[in-house]
Structure 1
Amino acid sequence: MKEKPYHHGNLRNQLIEAGIRLINSDGISSFSLRKVAAECEVSHTAPYSHFKNIDELVAAMGEHVTGQFMDSLRISIQGQEGKFEAVSRLGQAYIDFFVEHPQYFQFLFYHSGITIDLDNYDTDSYPPFVLFRTTAFEVFRSNGLPETEFTPQLLTLWSMVHGITALLTNNGVKYSGKWRDLLELKSIF
């Protein structure tokens, strides 16, 4: 049997990225640390220096993607808090992030087990959605929208942004236009 090479660099992140690729291509049911190790061309024991089991790796994968996603969203709205422009920028950043990393969209929304609670605002929900909701509600409030309209408007905004993202990250959907032209958030108010 061929000896696996010594691995230099950031093996933890390489295991995470390989795990995302594998789950997206093969599904969670056949996912294993051995397969991730093989994908990274390291010994089958190498992942155990970073993750004690597959659940810990999947959790780290979710944290890895969520951290990058949150950074992108936060940067997009800096200095725009409470302004309509914040919602527009947030929507654009949401789409841009996943267009740049389509594998993350598939992983997060189909394999990671995240929870987005659209009904209960007092519970812990997925942090990027909480940021989206909080930002939108600030804009609704500053524009004098009645509170009874907050949730329906939020769902309309998020559905549009998430839907455009789902379309653009799907290899089977082709669009020659500019997606930004579709993102006319101002028409909702």
Structure 2
Amino acid sequence: MEKMSYHHGTLKEEMIEKGLTLINDEGIKGFSLRKVAAMCGVSHTAPYKHFKNKEELMEVISERVLQSFSECLKQAIEEGKNKKTSMAEVGKAYVKFMLEHKEYFKFIFFSDYKVSVCLKGKHFIYQKGNPFEVFCTGATTYLKNYVQDEQQINYIILSMWSIVHGISTLIINESFEYEGDYEELVGKMLTIGPI
């Protein structure tokens, strides 16, 4: 019988990480606490000390991923505040985060927990905690310096989001190579107005 490893105070965090890997590898249908326990090298009952069921663990994973991504974007917005290149900095942070956390990228955009955005009339609609909210708020503040029409601002935000998401997807899927610095490329793509 395989010996189970001892996890002094780290099991919950390891289960979140391994759970994310399992969701990305096998999808929601292939997810179980038993599989996560096996990946962590603990008994199949150990997860129940931290999570009452698999749904609770999946919710915690979702919250962690979205919060981590949102915090990254908030920090970029704060650091770029009052700079003419502030959205370029946010775009760079977006792409860098996705390239450093490819498992988050897959989870956020390709799992059953994916973020979704709707443009209805003059307003974006998204669920609470969606990182797009942070991106949209920062972009709106930035763009109001250059564009007055609210609908036009929405189209530009959608275009900016498409750029950062698209370039992230292309790089992660190894469909695009660039000899220079990806962050610098994104910064140039997202700079609007006189610098």
TM-score relative to the length of structure 2: 0.86
Residue in 1 that maps onto 2:137: 134
Residue in 1 that maps onto 2:162: 159
Map Cα deviations across residues 57-108 of structure 1 (whole Å, 9 max, x no partner).
1111111112221222122122433544221111111111111111110011
Secondary structure of the residue aligned to 1:118 is: strand
| Equivalent residues of 1:117, 1:125 under 8 A apart | no
Residue in 1 that maps onto 2:177: 175
1:173 maps to a residue whose letter is S
2:72 maps to a residue whose letter is S
Give unmatched runs, 5+ long, in structure 2. none
How many pairs does the alignment contain? 188
Q: Which one has a larger percent strand, Structure 1 or Structure 2?
A: 2
Deviation at 1:129, TM superposition (A): 0.5
CA distance in structure 1 between the aligned counterparts of 2:84 and 2:51, rounded to whole angstroms: 42
| Equivalent residues of 2:92, 2:184 under 8 A apart | no
Distance 1:94 1:79, change over 3 A: closer
Between 123-132 and 33-42, report the one with greater CA deviation. Answer: 123-132
| Equivalent residues of 2:115, 2:130 under 8 A apart | no
Between 156-165 and 82-91, report the one with greater CA deviation. Answer: 82-91
CA distance in structure 2 between the aligned counterparts of 1:59 and 1:118, rounded to whole angstroms: 22
| Equivalent residues of 1:58, 1:112 under 8 A apart | no
Between 120-129 and 51-60, report the one with greater CA deviation. Answer: 120-129
Alignment of 1:50-69 (within 5 A): 50-69=50-69
Residue in 2 that maps onto 1:32: 32
Distance 1:27 1:86, change over 3 A: same
CA distance in structure 1 between the aligned counterparts of 2:132 and 2:54, rounded to whole angstroms: 26
| Equivalent residues of 1:15, 1:37 under 8 A apart | yes
CA RMSD of aligned residues (A): 2.2
The answer to whether structure 1 residue 185 and structure 2 residue 184 are counterparts is no
Deviation at 1:174, TM superposition (A): 4.9
CA distance in structure 2 between the aligned counterparts of 1:112 and 1:9, rounded to whole angstroms: 30
Moved over 6 A (4+): none
TM-score relative to the length of structure 1: 0.88
CA distance in structure 1 between the aligned counterparts of 2:126 and 2:67, rounded to whole angstroms: 20
CA distance in structure 1 between the aligned counterparts of 2:167 and 2:49, rounded to whole angstroms: 39
Secondary structure of the residue aligned to 1:78 is: helix
Distance 1:153 1:43, change over 3 A: same
Between 67-76 and 24-33, report the one with greater CA deviation. Answer: 67-76
Give unmatched runs, 5+ long, in structure 1. none
| Equivalent residues of 2:107, 2:114 under 8 A apart | no
Between 143-152 and 32-41, report the one with greater CA deviation. Answer: 143-152
Q: Percent identity?
A: 37
| Equivalent residues of 2:24, 2:107 under 8 A apart | yes
